[in-house]
A and B are shown apart, each in its own frame.
Chain A
């Protein structure tokens, strides 16, 4: 069965970096786009962008350029998002979600807390 399993929660200081992973199983990893979605505390869902695992080509939404980098390692069927120069407003739950239409398979979410 299809599964997306994300790395665990993170607590970081402002200015640090964090790298979140999303390990896929149960399907051909390179066949589906991988989306990243952010949810700040008490807020709605925000699409950050996606990456094509077949080509490694990322697409970023406005507001997620510069400090956010999507990558994949097809040898371990894993997608990553790295966030650098962390700010308190980056505190959120980050989800990976499969597919062009962001359909039925999501990771469980990775909470990131940025605090001094």
Chain B
């Protein structure tokens, strides 16, 4: 199975800050990564697909890059409504595997 590591497990930043989350795959997964935002009590919401493509309707302050084994996700100009847990997912192989998640708080 492909393991996805996702440091850090949590972080706190100020409104307006840039926040970067990384995701590392245990083997080459090309660009087969999605990024999701999950707010408490809600289903995950797709933000990024194919490692770097912004899903329709997602604010442009969200971006991501990467290929192979190393991926990163960035929130520019952090807003209070961005408080959530963010997950990466690899869909290169079965079983699909999620990263453990990064909880983002606003100071």
Contacts and interface: CB of A to CB of B under 8 A. Distances in A.
B28 to A, nearest CB: 17
A91 to B, nearest CB: 16
A2 interface: no
Given A101-B91, A102-B34, A102-B89, A47 B44 contact: no
User: Interface residue tally of chain A, by bracket?
Assistant: 20 to 34
A45 B91 contact: no
A4 to B, nearest CB: 9
A106 B95 CA distance: 18
Contact of B97 (A35, A47, A106): A47
Contacts of B43: 95, 97, 106-109
B54 to A, nearest CB: 12
Contact of A35 (B56, B87, B96): B96
Most chain-B CB neighbours within 10 Å: which of A95, A104, A108? Answer: A104
Contacts of B91: 100-102
B44 A45 contact: yes
Interface string B73-96: 000000000000001010100111
B55 A47 contact: no
Contact of A102 (B42, B55, B56, B96): B96
Contacts of A104: 46, 49, 55-56
A44 B34 contact: no
B96 A44 contact: no
Contacts of A35: 96
Nearest to B50: A101
7 contacts: A45-B87, A45-B98, A47-B97, A61-B94, A102-B89, A104-B46, A104-B55
Interface of A: 35, 44-47, 49, 59, 61-62, 95, 97, 100-104, 106-109
